[in-house]
């Protein structure tokens, strides 16, 4: 239990991060992004033509973003999210969502960390 209290205090102090993806020159920049569960990604369209940010599995979709429009989504599940522009399917990118701080839930009351 002595190791667990500092770990819980540390976890409660971790704030979710925010990331920006520019849609520019008919591309997503960056085209690959590593984030942690709970982080938010905001897409902003800087092109003069409309675009979307749409999950390949259709689990999320920005809708049409005109020049200057932004849209955000918070990723809570670990895994790899590939996405594209519905209007310009050759525009593709990837978001890799990792578990928070390397914490792996083993069973109720037991936590394993990568830094033990």
- Parse the chain into domains and list their residue ranges: 15-101
Token code pair at residue 74 = 């918070």
Q: How much is the average pLDDT of 19-36?
A: 98
The whole model's pTM is what?
A: 0.76
We find that the CATH architecture of domain 15-101 is: Sandwich (2.60)
Distance CA 47, CA 73 (A): 20
- Higher-pLDDT residue of 45 and 116 is 45
| Alpha helices in the chain, H assignment, sequence order | 4-13
- Residue 9, C-beta contacts closer than 8 angstroms, at least 6 positions apart: none
* pLDDT tens per residue, range 48-73: 999 999 999 999 999 999 999 999 99
Q: How much is the average pLDDT of 98-105?
A: 63
Q: What percent of the chain has pLDDT over 90?
A: 71
- pLDDT for position 95: 98
* pLDDT tens per residue, range 43-52: 999 999 999 9
- pLDDT for position 3: 54
Q: Are 61 and 52 in contact (CB under 8 A)?
A: yes
Q: Are 52 and 62 in contact (CB under 8 A)?
A: yes
Q: How much is the average pLDDT of 10-23?
A: 79
């Amino acid at each position: 239990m002595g190791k667990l209290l500092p770990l819980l205090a540390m976890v409660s102090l971790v704030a979710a991060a925010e990331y920006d993806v520019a849609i520019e020159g008919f591309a997503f920049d960056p085209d690959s992004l590593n984030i942690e569960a709970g982080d938010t990604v905001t897409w902003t369209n800087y092109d003069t033509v409309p675009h979307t940010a749409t999950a390949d599995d259709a689990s999320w979709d920005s809708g049409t973003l005109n020049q200057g429009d932004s849209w955000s989504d918070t990723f809570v599940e670990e895994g790899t999210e590939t996405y594209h522009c519905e209007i310009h399917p050759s525009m593709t990118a990837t978001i890799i969502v990792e578990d928070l701080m390397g914490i792996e839930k083993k069973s109720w009351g037991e936590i394993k960390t990568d830094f033990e």
